[in-house]
Amino acid sequence: MITAMVRKHWMELRGRWLFATAIAVLLGIFIIFEDRHAIFPKHWPMSLCLFAFILVVAFPPRFATTGVTTSIGTRPCHATDPSILFTLSLPLRRRTLLRYRAASGLFAMGTALAVALLVNAVVLESLGSAITPWQVLAYGLWILVLLVPLYFLDTLLSVWFSEATIMQVQAVAMALLVPVLLWMGLLGSTMKIMAVFHNATLVPAALAAGLIAAGLAGTTAWILDRQEY
Amino acid sequence: MSSKQSIIVVHDLRKRLGSIEAVAGLDFSVPAGSICGFLGRNGAGKTTTIKMLLGMMRPDSGEGSIFGELIEDEAANVRIRRRTGFVSEVKEFYPFMTVRHTIEFCRAFYPQWQMEWEKRCLKDYQLPLEQKTSKLSKGMRSKLALLLALSRGAELLVLDEPTDGLDPVAAEIFLEHAVAQAAEGRTVFFSSHQLHEVEQVCDRVCLIDQGRAVLETDLDEAKTRIRRASFTFPSTVPVALFEGIGLGRLKIRGRSASLLINGEGESFAARAQAAGATNIEFTPVNLKEIFLETVGGEK
């Protein structure tokens, strides 16, 4: 049964994984090259923040869903995929479906991010950058810390909304954040962005993200148990 | 009710969907080993009832049990689903899987999976194993849904419009399969609008209207008991004589009247005769007539 679920999730996610990884790799390389022709490597954190911004918008909704619903495409405003009754007829609890699917999506998202960062680290090194593997790892972990709560937020939202709707809303929300960050003077200064990443330590941030994610996952499970189809 | 043990028992089940009471105090039972047709007009509450039985919806009140396990208890409902083959009204699968993948996926959840039934269905329904389910026609999706339900080795089959989209040949094959499954000791509970199919294979029917059971009986018994009584009166038809009697509505044509009666023929004939009726006739009816009279029109 576990093998069948893993196989189903692999089939469900493999195309998304390839697409997301390819986009992240290409985007990273593009940013690195662009920065190199400007004042590289001084501005790299700014580029990497843009990279993170795009990942935040694009990654979690592509990988997150409840397991009761299946990621079947990007049909707008259609939360309940037609295969939902087939899924619910399986002899599994809804929480079990959620657990398997959330773990699979998180694993897929994490590995896509890892591959993208690895490729970008190799490119940076080949360009003679001073960035160390540890910095890349810390950066990757920071992105993961940002992505995990969003991933579980999107899992919760997928109870009601389609993938396309979540992506659109998330992109608009992130775009609306830009003026706020500009107003705060954050986007104008690479040093301030760096400060955001480095002043706070990673471990407390990860713990906070973990708590938020656990809360969202618990809420999703509670709602799924009461949801009617 | 049959003296056999009941596999499905529903008592005073209620479910409101928005402003509509989709299921309004439903009572029925399905004896073990029977083929029970679950009939009603569109919106009568059939699918809502089936969804409640299989844990997709929760009843507002009332009770339901399958194999003696309460349908509202999620853990119990998982056990129920393990022993039940289900074909839903919406016959959709994972679009990224082929027919073969879908069968293999489903097989993993049912240790009692019956390979001989899988092979039989594959042969009879001529399913294209390597085709993506998203590319299947509606009829082919119905066939796949039937294969998955019939091969499961389930003790109970709950089938919601199983022949929807099937061509007449495939529908006939399904009916043979339903009978064969019942012969192997399984209970088959299926909703359909194809009354001739129900009449062909069912030994029991449950008719529901506006969320309530209006007739629940063995089909042979129904055909024996339910008859059309026709009367001719010398002048106008005394409508009051028929009030509260029979199934469905009284049909009046001039001095003649007819009504479906449920087993009360002799006593009613005597009353009608006393009221001056002549030319009293009782004629047998088919399931379609019973359905139309019971749920088909204004009362």
pLDDT in tens, B49-107: 999 999 999 999 999 999 999 999 999 999 999 999 999 999 999 999 999 999 999 99
Apex B148 CA angle, A158 and A64, nearest 5: 15
A54 or B156, greater pLDDT: B156
**pLDDT for B214 beyond 80:** yes
Contact criterion met (CB below 8 Å) for A218 and B46 = no
pLDDT band at residue A48 under the 50/70/90 scheme:
low
Query: How many Å apart are CA A40 and CA B37, to the nearest integer?
Result: 75
Query: How many Å apart are CA B289 and CA B287, to the nearest integer?
Result: 5
pLDDT score of A76 = 46
A171 or B264, greater pLDDT: A171
Give mean pLDDT, residues A130-146: 77
Candidates A90, A104, A225, A226: best to mutate against B (most CBs of B within 10 A) is A90
B234: Cβ contacts below 8 Å, ≥ 6 apart: B255, B276, B278
Sheet of B256-262: strand order equals B247-253, B256-262, B226-232, B278-284
**pLDDT for A194 beyond 60:** no
* The two three-digit tokens of residue A118, written as one number: 């690895």
pLDDT score of A166 = 87
pLDDT score of A31 = 67
**pLDDT for A198 beyond 70:** no
**pLDDT for B235 beyond 90:** no
Candidates A86, A87, A104: best to mutate against B (most CBs of B within 10 A) is A86
Whether ipTM > 0.90 holds is: no
pLDDT score of A196 = 57
pLDDT score of A77 = 45
pLDDT score of A205 = 83
Q: Domains (ranges, CATH) in chain B?
A: 6-210 (3.40.50.300), 222-295 (3.30.70)
End-to-end CA distance of chain A: 23
A73 or A23, greater pLDDT: A23
Do residue B56 and residue A85 have CB atoms under 8 angstroms apart? yes
**pLDDT for B268 beyond 80:** no
Give mean pLDDT, residues A100-121: 90
For A213, the domain range is 2-226
pLDDT per residue over A70-93, tens digit each?
887 655 444 567 889 999 999 999
Query: How many Å apart are CA B92 and CA A89, to the nearest integer?
Result: 12
Give mean pLDDT, residues A178-200: 58
Residues of B with Cβ-Cβ distance to A18 under 8 angstroms:
none
Kindly report each contact of residues A166-169 with a partner whose C-beta sits within 8 Å and lies 24 or more positions away, as own/partner. A166/A61, A167/A57, A167/A58, A167/A61, A167/A62, A167/A74, A168/A76
CA dihedral B76, B77, B81, B86 (to 10 degrees): 150
Report the interhelical angle of A44-63 vs A190-199 (nearest 10°): 60
Comparing A139-143, B41-45, B68-72, B131-135, the range with the smallest average pLDDT is: A139-143
**CA nearest A4 in B: which residue?**
B105
How big is the A-B interface in CB pairs under 8 Å? 68
Give mean pLDDT, residues A24-53: 62
**pLDDT for A211 beyond 60:** yes
Confirm or reject contact between A229 and chain B (CB < 8 A). Answer: yes
Contact criterion met (CB below 8 Å) for A167 and A58 = yes
pLDDT score of A229 = 87
What are the residues of chain B with a beta carbon less than 8 Å away from any beta carbon of chain A? Answer: 51, 54-58, 74-75, 78-79, 81-82, 86, 88-90, 92-97, 101, 104-105, 108-110
Query: How many Å apart are CA B107 and CA B93, to the nearest integer?
Result: 14
Do residue B74 and residue A94 have CB atoms under 8 angstroms apart? yes
| A219 Cα to chain B: minimum distance (Å) | 18
Pick from B89, B90, B95: CB nearest A72: B95
Do residue A83 and residue B89 have CB atoms under 8 angstroms apart? no
**pLDDT for A187 beyond 80:** no
**pLDDT for B39 beyond 70:** yes
**pLDDT for B286 beyond 70:** yes
| A7 Cα to chain B: minimum distance (Å) | 8
Return mean pLDDT, chain B: 89
**pLDDT for B225 beyond 70:** yes
Residues of A with Cβ-Cβ distance to B97 under 8 angstroms:
8, 11
pLDDT band at residue A40 under the 50/70/90 scheme:
very low
Pick from B78, B93, B96: CB nearest A91: B78
Pick from B54, B94, B109: CB nearest A83: B94
B86 or A57, greater pLDDT: B86
Neighbouring CB atoms inside 10 A of B162's CB total 30
What total of structural domains would you count in chain A? 1
C-alpha closest to that of A124 among A24, A189, A39, A35: A35
Pick from A82, A89, A93: CB nearest B74: A93
pLDDT score of B261 = 81
Neighbouring CB atoms inside 10 A of B259's CB total 21
pLDDT score of A175 = 76
pLDDT score of A27 = 73
For residue B160, CA distances in Å to A202, B37, B167 come to 54, 10, 17
* The two three-digit tokens of residue A227, written as one number: 């949801």
Do residue A82 and residue B54 have CB atoms under 8 angstroms apart? no
Kindly report each contact of residues B123-132 with a partner whose C-beta sits within 8 Å and lies 24 or more positions away, as own/partner. B124/B173, B124/B177, B125/B170, B125/B173, B127/B99, B128/B99, B129/B98, B129/B99, B129/B100, B129/B103, B130/B98, B130/B99, B130/B100, B131/B98, B131/B99, B132/B95, B132/B96, B132/B97, B132/B98
pLDDT score of A197 = 58
Query: How many Å apart are CA B82 and CA B103, to the nearest integer?
Result: 16
Neighbouring CB atoms inside 10 A of B129's CB total 11
B43 or A217, greater pLDDT: A217
Give mean pLDDT, residues A216-228: 94
Return mean pLDDT, chain A: 80
| A64 Cα to chain B: minimum distance (Å) | 16
pLDDT band at residue B30 under the 50/70/90 scheme:
very high
Give mean pLDDT, residues A188-197: 52
C-alpha closest to that of B224 among B269, B261, B270, B267: B261
pLDDT score of B175 = 94
Do residue A72 and residue B96 have CB atoms under 8 angstroms apart? yes
Contact criterion met (CB below 8 Å) for B81 and A91 = yes
